[in-house]
Amino acid sequence: MQAPLHPREAERLKALRSYDIVDTEFEAEFEEVVDFVREVCDVPVVLISLVEEDRQWFKAKRGLEAAETPREQAICAYTVLQDDILEIEDTLADPRTQTNCLCTDDPDLRFYAGMPLITKDGLAIGSLCALDHRPRVLSDLQRQTLRVMARQVMAQLELRRTLRLARELRGEVDHRVKNSLQSLAALASIKARNVASDEGREALRAIQRRIQTVAMLHEQLYRSDSGAAVNLGVYLTDVARYLEGQTPDRVSIACETCDLAVVAEQSAALGTLVNEFVANSIKHGYPDGRRGNIRVVLRMLGPEDASLELSDDGVGLPEGGVKRKGLGLQIMEASAAQAAGTYEIVPVAAGFAVAVRFRPRETRDPV
């Protein structure tokens, strides 16, 4: 006798497919469940069975060699029709199973107890079942164990689906953000080529550089497994390498960093500061084809204290300092403040240097 289809069979199958679990490898989390049920229920066979259109497939199994059976042989096809345990004391005495070859022939399954695996929408996609080679009944404790462990199986499936959907959404967002940033950078580059004034071209190139530093930060966040934390040393090294590719050949950029996890906001602020310092140095520090070097140094000063030191060996500030801060210096100061750091211009024998001292933050401050 074959079990009738579930009254919401199409929805049930769609729910099963949404977990993307059928035909996956055996996994320890599910193997532990069947081992525990086998011990508590004192049975030789325990299965986590998922019922598809034409077969039942076992995500985990003990005491049975087959990895799947045709649906017409699946006692679990009856279990998915209800919302609590199906217990058959003697399969040869029950009209639903008395002609089932799994019961009449090898492996001679004479007892069955299955708890449906029920989704949040009330659809049973399979069962956690215990089987024996002799007729019997379960105790109240054994039945409750089946119920609890079936819920644990569903909790694992729900968690895995949630994580998979989150990864897919993150990938889609990443794709769209990268495309948007690339489009903006390309637009700035095109506009820069068509602007007549040097000042206008430089402004658009500065926008392009800032977009690129944001894109690199986004890439760091996407690759990171630590949520909103970014390895600042890796990020600033990427920024420095990108900027070196944008500088004249006569100016080089040396970068010395350490591994340091900080929140994205702090990384963005310090990346902007590096960007502005390099742009300022190239624009003002090396006139008339002068050659030189720019240094970016990130170091830890103590367990909760770090510094970002930027310097060039260019012509330096005019004698007597600057009477009016340009936009670049203003952006650097604002960026340091955004990173919750203290900013200072460092006196040097030649060139120009600034230092930002800050406390690394790996989590966002509470709102």
Which residues, listed in sequence order, are joined to residue 68 by a DSSP beta bridge? 57
Count of domains for the chain: 2
Among 109, 134, 161, the domain boundary falls at 161
Domain co-membership, 281 together with 142? no
Mean pLDDT within 161-179: 69
Q: Which residues of 230-250 are buried (b: 16+ CB within 10 A; e: fewer)?
A: bbbbbbbbbbbebbbeebeee
- Does residue 178 carry a pLDDT above 70? no
SS3 204: helix
Domain that holds residue 133: 9-161
Task: Examine the domain organization and report whether 240 and 331 are in the same domain.
Answer: yes
What residues pair up with 57 in beta bridges, in sequence order? 50, 68
pLDDT at 207 over 80: no
Among 161, 182, 210, the domain boundary falls at 161
pLDDT of residue 367: 37
Q: How confident is the model at residue 284 (pLDDT cuts 50, 70, 90)?
A: confident
Q: Are residues 63 and 154 in the same domain?
A: yes
Same domain, 110 and 253: no
Of 51-60, 118-127, 138-147, 318-327, least confident by mean pLDDT is 318-327
Q: What pLDDT is attached to residue 216?
A: 63
- Residue 147 domain-assigned? yes
Judge whether 222 lies within some domain. Answer: no
The pLDDT of residue 127 is: 97
Calculate mean pLDDT across residues 276-295: 88
Q: What is the mean pLDDT of residues 245-257?
A: 89
Q: Sign (positive/negative) of CA torsion 222, 226, 232, 238?
A: negative
Residues 147 and 255 grouped into a single domain:
no
Radius of gyration over every alpha carbon of the chain, rounded to an integer in angstroms: 33
CATH code of 121's domain? 3.30.450.40
Q: What pLDDT is stored for residue 41 in this prediction?
A: 96
Residue 107 lies in a domain: yes
Weakest mean pLDDT among 48-52, 81-85, 221-225: 221-225
Question: Do 21 and 151 fall within a single domain?
Answer: yes
In a domain? residue 343? yes
Residue 344 lies in a domain: yes
Q: Regarding predicted confidence, which is higher, 194 or 79?
A: 79
Give the lowest-confidence range in 76-90, 91-105, 324-338.
324-338
The answer to the question of residue 65 being in a domain is yes
The stretch 169-178 carries a mean pLDDT of: 62
pLDDT at 366: 43
Least confident of 166-170, 242-246, 269-273, 322-326: 322-326
**Adjacency order of strands within the sheet including 292-302:** 251-256, 292-302, 305-312, 352-358, 341-345
Question: Which of 143, 161, 179 finishes a domain?
Answer: 161
pLDDT of the residue at 242? 83
Tell me: pLDDT of 154 over 60: yes
pLDDT band with cut points at 50, 70 and 90 for residue 287: confident
Same domain membership, residue 143 and residue 240: no
Percentage, residues of the chain above pLDDT 90: 56
In a domain, 289, yes or no: yes
Structure confidence at residue 349 (pLDDT): 85
pLDDT of 164? 82
DSSP class of 71: G
268 or 151: whose pLDDT is higher?
151
Q: Are 105 and 234 in a shared domain?
A: no
202 found inside a domain = no
Q: In this predicted structure, what is the pLDDT of residue 9?
A: 95
**Residue 278 belongs to domain with CATH number:** 3.30.565.10
Whether the predicted pLDDT of 176 surpasses 80? no
- Among positive and negative, which fits the CA dihedral 145, 147, 153, 158? negative
